Amino acid sequence: MVFLLFFCFCSWIVFSGFIGCLVLFNYPKGNKLSNRLLAFGIFSISLNIALIGLCYFKNFYISYPQTYRLLTLIQYFTAPLFYLFIRTTLLHQKYFDKWDLLYFIPFVVHFIEFIPFYTMPTQEKINYLQYGYSNIRILTQSKNATLLPKHHHLLKTTTGLVFGILQTKLVLNNKNNINKASWNWLIKLCLIYNLSYLCNAKLIMPFQMDTNLYSIFVLGSIQCYCIFSLLKKPVLLVYTIDKPLKKNEHTSLSPNEIIDEPRKFILSPARKKMYKEKLETFVAVQKPYLIKKYSISQLANDTNIPTHHLSLLINEEYGCNYNDYINRYRINYFIENRYKNEWRTFSLEGLAYQSGFNSRNAFTTSFKKFTNESPTTFFKNKDASELVLKCEKARKRKFKNELTV
């Protein structure tokens, strides 16, 4: 009877997890990156519980011994996936950072650890599993691996706790980045996550329990909370996780509209100064304005400044929206490099592409906006002015020479 209840519980978690994963992965609205990271996180939990449950069915792993060690490898995906989900949600990131792959180093280490098992002949794997099923705990001990069993469990638990601390700190430090309901949901998720891993570390669990049941308890509690939240209030997971910009944060508004309307977010002078220095240094060194269709989301991701904070900074410090801000750099770059030898063979459209614009029309429109003249008229007047200046210098030099004589 107990085994039947255990089997039903595991089956329900796996089935509901797969359904929730499909819903989140395919939903077109909101922050797709955040939704899909959560979907993969739930998928990894479901797959973990399915593989853990199969440990109690002798014939499965004996018939398919190659699938047995997949369990421990997949477990290393869960913690970084939930951390990345929370980070991209709070910071409104739509792209990964270049260093995010480092979070999966434990997976690589663990894969290397189990190379001895993968390289064993099939019959030897079967013999090992048959012997292991005489005591279920033997199957959780990696005697063919490079790490001792206690180190194996310690590494998994430690990485989970570290990611738990990091994501909790993120949530606490970014309370104003999303709406209150979504923030409350995230902080509760962090709380359940941390309590679960503390139990898995046996720091607050006074009684003994099978290691597999520990893992099911840890993973199942996290997934149950996610699934119940999705069923009770789908808006938390799908609609409002990626908080939309307020009206005064849209880059299409004029500076006057931005100044006159009240803002919900106010940047402190210290944070504003820090953001401004970081932004100007990045733009000066990396020249992102030369990238065609470079969006404010990409700039926010590259500078690690929340999108709506970045929009507010540009509005207040530079008195313009993002498009004008980035196009101003492109126009200045164009004017500074117009007479370079390598640019002389380019057409006007080619020059626009070299400056970061994706079309000639966009370049011409922006150029007129900042100089009040077309590119042809501007450089014609500039050439004329420079010619007059050169003639005036030559006349003064000639007059000075005549006086000397």
**Among 383, 276, 356, 362, which residue's Cα sits nearest to residue 370?**
362
Residue 259 has pLDDT above 50, yes or no: no
Confidence at 47, pLDDT banded by 50, 70, 90: confident
Confidence at 387, pLDDT banded by 50, 70, 90: very low
Q: Could you tell me which residue, 371 or 206, shows the higher pLDDT?
A: 371
Residue 92 has pLDDT above 60, yes or no: yes
Residue 201 has pLDDT above 70, yes or no: no
Q: Could you tell me which residue, 68 or 319, shows the higher pLDDT?
A: 319
Contact 95, 298 (CB under 8 A): yes
Longest dimension (CA), the chain: 119
b (16+ CB within 10 A) / e for 240-275 = bbbbeeeebbebeeeeeebeeeeeeeebeeeebeeb
pLDDT averaged over every residue in the chain: 73
When mean pLDDT is compared across 137-141, 175-179, 361-365, the lowest value belongs to: 137-141
Residue 247 has pLDDT above 60, yes or no: no
Burial class from Cβ neighbours inside 10 Å (0-12, 13-18, 19+) for residue 305 reads buried
Residue 260 has pLDDT above 70, yes or no: no
Confidence at 235, pLDDT banded by 50, 70, 90: low
Give whichever of 42-56, 73-87, 147-161, 279-293 has the largest mean pLDDT.
279-293
The boundaries of every CATH 1.10.10.60 domain in the chain are: 269-402
> What does the DSSP assignment read for 227-279?
HHHHHH-HHHHTTSSSPPPPGGG-TTS-HHHHHHS--S----HHHHHHHHHHH
**Among 195, 205, 173, 208, which residue's Cα sits nearest to residue 86?**
173
Amino acid code (one letter) for 304: N
Kindly report the CATH class assigned to 1-237: mainly alpha
CATH of domain 269-402: 1.10.10.60
* pLDDT mean over 259-277: 70
The boundaries of every CATH 1.20.1070 domain in the chain are: 1-237
Residue 251 has pLDDT above 60, yes or no: no
> What does the DSSP assignment read for 124-161?
HHHHHHHHHTTSGGGGGS-TTSSS-HHHHHHHHHHHHH
Residue keyed to tokens 């909790």: 168
Confidence at 279, pLDDT banded by 50, 70, 90: very high
When mean pLDDT is compared across 137-146, 178-187, 350-359, the lowest value belongs to: 137-146
Q: What is the pLDDT of residue 240?
A: 43
Q: What is the pLDDT of residue 176?
A: 72
pTM over 0.85: no
Q: Could you tell me which residue, 22 or 299, shows the higher pLDDT?
A: 299
Q: What is the pLDDT of residue 388?
A: 41
Confidence at 383, pLDDT banded by 50, 70, 90: low
When mean pLDDT is compared across 14-18, 43-47, 229-233, 333-337, the lowest value belongs to: 229-233
Confidence at 326, pLDDT banded by 50, 70, 90: very high
**Among 279, 190, 219, which residue's Cα sits nearest to residue 44?**
219
Backbone Cα Rg of the chain = 30
Confidence at 134, pLDDT banded by 50, 70, 90: low
CA distances from 370 to 129, 311, 340, 364 (A): 73, 20, 22, 10
* pLDDT mean over 312-321: 88
Q: What is the pLDDT of residue 58?
A: 61
* pLDDT mean over 182-195: 83
**Among 343, 329, 317, which residue's Cα sits nearest to residue 287?**
329
CA 319 to CA 248: how far, in whole Å?
13
